[in-house]
Amino acid sequence: MKDEFVIAGVTLSSRLLLGTAGYPSQRILRDAVQVSGCEVVTVSIRRISLEGHDTDTIDLLSKYRLLPNTAGCETARDAILTAELAREALETNWIKLEVIGDRETLYPDTSELLQATRKLVDMGFVVLPYCNDDPVLCMRLADAGAAAVMPMGSMIGSGLGVANPANIEHICKRSPVPVIVDAGIGTASDAVIAMELGASAVLLNTAVAKSDDPVLMAGAMKHAVQSGRLAYRAGRIPRRGRAEPSSPQMGLVGS
């Protein structure tokens, strides 16, 4: 049986999406993205050069699908304007929608996020909103036309992993659109857990960019996402509060 990952009619072979901020150098960024096997990379429209220089991030990653984001926006109005600029500059209608409500925790402003999602969908965007790990909010975003929902594993850049696995699992079971766990992934085991809970994909940045060896960690994340998806499809055994022998108890020597 095929296990396809499809967003807005586009089939992607990799379930790992990678951010491009904070790498030690452009060369390490390029190598990490290549090793990760990802097809989609996120870029902040406020941090990239659009002048077409040889060292420009856009040129460096020209063979990948660019997913511009609205990082730093605090209102629906600002996010919509940023999305329009991104579509004009990068010639893509895909947008990772971020509307931040608190500068310390970087938690989303849910009311502004919903408002921006509805408006951008009406404007023809493929909207992937970054949101709280709230099953009700995720359903409302999907109802508003989001092509995928991107609940946080934990706070952006925290490395705390999946803080509320029960919430993520519930979102994955009910969501009519792909679920991409975004933010908080710290190492490969966190990505495995996210995928085992039923996520369609994982988006991460800091875990790779700020590791001691970003290229090596990018490869680890590639395999983590793949193995986590396979484990989810295979199905884990039930948890038990007692031991259960794996070998038959009949016919033991001496019995």
Polymer length in residues for the chain: 255
Tokens representing 37 are 């096997």
Q: Which amino acid is at 129?
A: P
Which of helix, strand or coil describes residue 53? coil
The answer to whether residues 63 and 89 touch, using CB atoms and an 8 Å cutoff, is no
The answer to whether residues 26 and 211 touch, using CB atoms and an 8 Å cutoff, is no
Q: Which of 2, 96, 210, 222 is catalytic?
A: 96
What is the rounded CA–CA span in Å between residue 180 and residue 125?
18
Of 187, 206, 196, the C-alpha closest to 233 is: 196
Please, which contacts does 241-248 make with residues 24 or more away whose CB atoms are closer than 8 Å?
none
- List for the chain the helix, strand, coil content (%; round to 5): 40, 15, 45
> Is there a catalytic annotation at residue 96?
yes
Question: From the centroid of its chain, how far is CA 137?
Answer: 17
What is the rounded CA–CA span in Å between residue 224 and residue 232?
12
Which of helix, strand or coil describes residue 83? helix
The answer to whether residues 155 and 105 touch, using CB atoms and an 8 Å cutoff, is yes
The answer to whether residues 143 and 178 touch, using CB atoms and an 8 Å cutoff, is no
Q: Which residues neighbour 251 within 8 Å (Cβ) at sequence distance 6 or greater? A: none
> Catalytic amino acids?
96
